[in-house]
Amino acid sequence: NMGVNPETLQIGDHLDRFTTGKFDDVALFDRALSDDEISAISENGVPAILDAIA
């Protein structure tokens, strides 16, 4: 059970900078990905949704 968290999701290491763009195709992983896995996702996208929480 992941529950709900009202905190802001920070991406990057600059707390004083914000983006005005939009994010698309966001994926969260429970471990660090290998260089090969990152390359494969970059080229082909995430192959399937394995577990989704609505």
pLDDT at 15 exceeding the cut of 70 = yes
- Are 25 and 46 a contacting pair, CB within 8 Å? yes
- Domain ranges in the chain are 19-47
Residue 11 has what pLDDT? Answer: 74
- Are 26 and 5 a contacting pair, CB within 8 Å? no
pTM over 0.75: no
Residue 54 has what pLDDT? Answer: 47
pLDDT over 70, % of the chain: 83
Q: What is the per-residue pLDDT across 19-47, written as a single tens digit (0 to 9) for each?
A: 777 777 778 888 899 999 999 988 988 87
